[in-house]
Each structure stands twice: as C-alpha cells, then as structure tokens.
Structure 1
Amino acid sequence: MSKLFVWNVQGFGDPNFLTTVRQFIRDNNPYIIKLFEPRSGYKANSVILALGVPNSHRIEASGFSGGIWLCWKNTITTDILLNHFQFLHFRVHNIDGSSSLVTLIYARPNAVKRNTLWIHLHSLSSSIHSSWLLYGNFNTTLHTVDRKGCSPNSRPSRAFQDLVLNHGLQDTEFQEPEYTWTQGDSYVRLNRMLCNTYWDATFPMLGHSTHIIS
C-alpha cells in the first residue's frame, strides 16, 4: 500500500532540511514524496539525489511562484499526464494493482492569475471517471471558518466553491494543522486534500498518508 509524504518547503536554505527529510523517509518508508515551493535552482538534482529516491519529476519555481517536486520509489510507477505552472497531474499505479489520478496544486497568490487554475481543473474534472485526489496550496479558502483573525473583507473564493460543488469534490481526513499559514494574529487554511466521488474511503494511499506542513 502506498504512503505519501507532502511538505511545504520554504526553500532549502536550512542545513537541517536534508537530515530531517532523510530521517523521516527511514522512519516511515513513503513510496511517494511531494515537495512544494522548493527554490534550489541548480542544486535541484543534487538535493533529489541526496533524498535517496530514484525517480523524480519537477515543475520549477518561477518568480514568486513556488515549484512542485514529485519523487517516487521503484515499488510504484507514475505516469506524468500534464504539467502546468500551477499544478502537476499524474497517475499513480500502486503495488497492489490499483491506480489513481493525483493533481498536485500550487496556486498563484494573484487572484487573476489563479483564474486559469479553476478553468483547467473544471476541464480535468469533466473528463475524469476514476478515483482522483487533489492536494496542495490553493492560495485561497473554501469556507469562512478557514480564516481566523483576518480582515472582515476577506472571503472564501466563489470560484473554488463552484469547483468543489459542481464536480462533487469533498475534503478527506488527513494529518495537517487546522491552519496552514499564519502572519501575526491572522490564521488561514490554504492547503487542502480533496477527492472526487469515485474515490473509495478505504483507498490504500489515503489511509496511510503522512503530511508535514512547515
């Protein structure tokens, strides 16, 4: 059964980064590792090699937009289906013979640029007829309770809500803090894991997931 490890990385400048990740890999043996917001530039290959995971695919960071890295072990196979500057879409073939579509999302902070994300996700969802998992930083909120201590003018995204409602997406249960971004006395949940109606609640990858948000 597949285990996945997801980490929002604020760059690789911390000298403890590799030590922490390698220790986690040794302790938990995940088959899939997903890193968001890496900005290591030319060091990317050496960082991935140091993780000890033989397979990888990445969307590089651009300007203020973070990158997406996907690493996986030889015990599973992964088909990369679509690269986009705000998401990576792929199919995972698990060791038990099952498979699932997964979309890793790192949305642009700018609402106008983020509109292209909703358009592409609507299009993807309309063509999917199998289990589908979406995870990442949507850089906006879905519910009013996703914000605490924020300006009264800050509201959930209607475009995000339409995506979830129109395509029957739902939150999954997973290990993550209630709020994934904080500044001063403001707390916001920007990260979510969603699945479609084809997703079985007992699907192996979900029940054995570990998520670390930094």
Structure 2
Amino acid sequence: MWNVQGAGKQAFVATMREIIKINNPTVIVLVETHLSGDKTQKVCDRLGFSGQTRVEAQGFSGGIWLFWRKELVTVTPYEAHGQHLTVKITKVGGTPWLFSAVYASPDSTIRRDLWKESLSERQGTGGTEMQRRCRSFCDWMETNGLIDLGFSGPRHTWSRGETELTFKSARLDRFMANEDWTLQYEEATVKHLPKACSDHCPIILSTNGFAPIPTSLKPLRFQAAWITHDKFEEFMRANWNNSLPLIPFLSDFAVKLNS
C-alpha cells in the first residue's frame, strides 16, 4: 500500500518500479492517487502488472488502484466504494479471502459514510447502539472484529514539514485482519519501508514473513568514515544528482561509493 500524493508521474513510475524490483509483491495497492481517466490508465500500464482494477479519484480527492500478478493469484472484484475497494484473493492452491483497501477521507462528514457502509455489509447488527460504536475508527475496528497486525521499521508512516516547528508525523497507514485470517497466516509480517516521492511511506505485508534482503538490494547505509576522506566533498559534488528519482539513484550511487 502506498500513497502517491505529490509524486510527479515519471518519478512515481521510476520509484514504483524500483520498489517492485526489490520487494517483488504479488498484489499492490496505491491510495489517494489524485488521478483519473486516461492519465490513470497510462500510468497504470507502465507498472507491469497483468491484472488491475481501481476506484477513480473524485476530482483531486481519493483514488484507489489495485494491481496483481494473474499467474500467481486470482483477484475477483467484490465491492467498490468511494473510500474502499474490496476484492476476493485466491492464491494458487490456497483458501480465498477478502481484502479491502480503505482510504478514509480526512473530511469527517464523508468519512462517516464509510463507517455507515460497514454496517450494511454485516448481518444481525444495527440500531442506535451500533451507530454509536461506529463513530470512531477504534470502535469501527472493534465492531468488525479487526486486529492491527503491527509492524517493523519506522514508527510513523506519514510525515510533513522540514523544521522543528512545522514537522508532524503519525502512523496513518496499517494492515488489519480478523481472527480467522491471523490463524490462517500465523507467519504474516508487516514492514514499513523508507519514504520516497510521497509524504507517506510504503507498507508491505508478507503472509509468510520476510526473507533476508540480498546484499545487492540492501539500502544504502551512510558510513561516517566517508566524510574523513580528503576527496569526499569533491566526490559528492561530482556525483550527487537531486533531479533523479531517489531510490534508483541511491542504488547507482552506492556502487560508485564502493568502487
């Protein structure tokens, strides 16, 4: 899952391709894309997934894109709403399960429509008590029997501001599941990845846990000893390029540092 707000199209595609190359996801979701129509299709086609579906952005608000590899999973659209996209996922030889990508609008009036929508998808519930319990996100989780799957990596998934006075951050993005799903995928693990081309960082879920990252794909780690080299400043001026997408640039930059 990744929020693409603020990403230029070329930088976004380049960064996404690098994230896909490193993490090799079977299913990928992008939320708050701010794109719709022909522009959307052109960007989606460049990501290289054989299956795709989406909820269009409304003007410059919202938008949910979902991609998958048809050779590995079957994805069947189940229900779409302005703030969520629900599909049935069936891995080859596996048990089907429902997956919902949810974008809760920052507008509280619109967001209440999402909580009400969850009521219509449940049987045997309703009335004023249920409506009261759906007034907040935590109550919504409880009502729907959802468990936060936790995470490793950076604590917050969203940040904004560059000075001490303007900086804000929060954990706005997360994976949740019901008890049956967690019992079926006991090794499931969530990881927060480094932020790039967005004020949200990508988050990734593996149903089987994560294998160690190959050395060739590990992120660049700055070594303090580099700055003591008498030609380090000259090297930085000659090789650093702010105009290129960050993730693929750092990969090439690391090769130069170690050569």
TM over 0.5: yes
Q: Matched residues in 2 for 1:97 and 1:199: separation? A: 13
The structure with the largest helix share of the pair is 2
Q: Which residue, out of 51, 58, 62, partners 1:55?
A: 51
Please state whether the residue corresponding to 2:99 is helix, strand or coil.
strand
- Specify the alignment match of 1:35 in structure 2: 30
Q: Which residue, out of 188, 193, 197, partners 1:207?
A: 188
Question: What is the identity percentage for the equivalent residue pairs of Structure 1 and Structure 2?
Answer: 34
Matched, 1:188 2:165: no
Q: Matched residues in 2 for 1:175 and 1:61: separation? A: 30
Q: Matched residues in 2 for 1:33 and 1:175: separation? A: 19
Matched, 1:85 2:85: no
The 10-residue stretch of structure 1 (44-53 or 183-192) with the greater mean CA deviation from structure 2: 183-192
- Specify the alignment match of 2:68 in structure 1: 72
Matched, 1:120 2:117: yes
The amino acid that maps onto 1:30 is: P
Please state whether the residue corresponding to 1:80 is helix, strand or coil.
strand
Q: Deviations over 1:160-187 (max 9, x none)?
A: 1221223322100235632233342432
1:126 positional shift: 4.5
Please state whether the residue corresponding to 1:200 is helix, strand or coil.
helix
Please state whether the residue corresponding to 2:100 is helix, strand or coil.
strand
- Following superposition, which runs of at least 4 residues in structure 1 exceed 3 angstroms of deviation? 174-177, 208-214
Q: Matched residues in 2 for 1:110 and 1:68: separation? A: 17
Q: CA 1:194 to 1:125, structure 2 compared with 1: closer, same or farther past 3 Å?
A: farther
Please state whether the residue corresponding to 1:58 is helix, strand or coil.
strand
Runs (5+) with no aligned partner, structure 1:
1-5, 128-156
Q: CA 1:84 to 1:49, structure 2 compared with 1: closer, same or farther past 3 Å?
A: same
TM-score by length of 2: 0.61
Q: Matched residues in 2 for 1:63 and 1:176: separation? A: 33
Q: Matched residues in 1 for 2:26 and 2:49: separation? A: 9
**Do the aligned partners of 2:26 and 2:69 also contact (CA within 8 Å) in 1?**
yes
* Count of residue pairs brought into register by the alignment: 179
Q: Which has the larger radius of gyration?
A: 2
Q: Matched residues in 1 for 2:97 and 2:13: separation? A: 29
The 10-residue stretch of structure 1 (31-40 or 6-15) with the greater mean CA deviation from structure 2: 6-15
Q: Matched residues in 1 for 2:189 and 2:147: separation? A: 18
Larger RCO, structure (CA 8 Å, separation 6 or more): 1
- Specify the alignment match of 2:256 in structure 1: none
Please state whether the residue corresponding to 1:187 is helix, strand or coil.
strand
TM-score by length of 1: 0.73
Q: Which residue, out of 105, 108, 116, partners 1:108?
A: 105
1:12 positional shift: 4.4
- Specify the alignment match of 1:152 in structure 2: none
Q: Matched residues in 1 for 2:167 and 2:142: separation? A: 31
Please state whether the residue corresponding to 2:113 is helix, strand or coil.
helix
Q: CA 1:78 to 1:176, structure 2 compared with 1: closer, same or farther past 3 Å?
A: farther
